[in-house]
């Protein structure tokens, strides 16, 4: 489907490669709300264009972001670091720690991304949402705990409870969620 009235462009926000999708102008859309969107594990922001377009069609300013080690900043040895899941790798503590390190690093840069968007006039601190699929769902929970400017969080196939006993696991900080979580249909 061609979305003639949608505009898109790539840029870097706080060192993170981003893809912005919107109607009209970014400033107009930001008045209605800005949504950060994070992709699944091993994927990129560009692979989620249909999702980004759908959200932009609902009149939001949508910012797809490549997570640490993914997309435009994909680790050259990604497949060596994260081999395809085989039965003997399930429950591997080293793989889980590497995955959670990517989640943590990606979530830690969300505040800087929001600062950059607000500075440009592309986000209103009272109208910020975040969403993500799989890896992005984990990032969504971690970022919602870390930055109170995030008003709405939608995680698809992500978990607030990390498998390793790390103190920043979002399930240990439910008091920081308030009533902001929602589920996508």
Provide the 10 A C-beta neighbour count for residue 25: 13
- Confidence (pTM): 0.92
Beta strands 61-65 and 16-22, pairing class: antiparallel
Q: Measuring CA to CA, how many Å separate 69 from each of 5, 34, 79, 85, 167? A: 32, 24, 11, 18, 23
What pLDDT score was predicted for residue 89? 59
Least confident of 10-14, 30-34, 110-114, 179-183: 179-183
Residue pLDDT, tens place only, 10-26: 999 999 999 999 999 99
Q: What percent of the residues of the chain are helix, what percent strand, and what percent coil, each to the nearest 5?
A: 40, 20, 40
Greater pLDDT, 178 or 91: 91
Q: Measuring CA to CA, how many Å separate 149 from each of 24, 89, 103? A: 24, 37, 19
Average pLDDT over residues 98-118: 97
Residue pLDDT, tens place only, 161-176: 999 999 999 999 988 8
CA distance 8 to 21: 5
Phi and psi at residue 106, to the nearest 5°: -65, -45
Residue 181 predicted with pLDDT over 80: no
What pLDDT score was predicted for residue 176? 81
Domain ranges across the chain: 7-182
* Homologous superfamily of 7-182: Alpha/Beta hydrolase fold, catalytic domain (3.40.50.1820)
Predicted confidence band at 185 (pLDDT cuts at 50, 70, 90)? very low
CA distance 56 to 76: 32
Strand blocks (E) in 14-149: 16-22, 34-38, 61-65, 128-133
Residue 158 predicted with pLDDT over 80: yes
The answer to whether 135 and 44 have CB atoms below 8 angstroms apart is: no
CA distance 128 to 133: 18
């Amino acid at each position: 489907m061609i979305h003639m009235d949608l505009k898109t462009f790539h840029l870097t926000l706080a060192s993170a490669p981003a893809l912005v999708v919107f109607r009209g102008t970014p400033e107009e859309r930001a008045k209605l709300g800005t949504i950060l969107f994070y992709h699944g594990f091993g994927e990129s922001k560009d692979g989620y264009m249909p999702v980004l377009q759908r959200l932009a069609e609902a009149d939001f300013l949508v910012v797809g972001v490549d997570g640490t080690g993914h997309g435009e900043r994909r680790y050259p040895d990604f497949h060596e670091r994260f081999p395809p899941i085989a039965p003997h790798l399930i429950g591997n503590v080293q793989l889980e720690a590497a995955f959670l390190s990517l989640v943590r690093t990606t979530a830690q840069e969300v505040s800087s991304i929001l600062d950059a968007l607000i500075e440009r006039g592309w986000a209103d601190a009272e109208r910020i949402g975040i969403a993500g699929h799989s890896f992005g769902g984990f990032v969504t929970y971690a970022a919602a705990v870390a930055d109170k400017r995030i008003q709405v969080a939608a995680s698809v196939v992500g978990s607030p409870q990390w498998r390793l006993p790390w103190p920043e696991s979002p399930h240990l900080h439910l008091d920081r969620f308030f009533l902001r979580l929602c589920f996508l249909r």
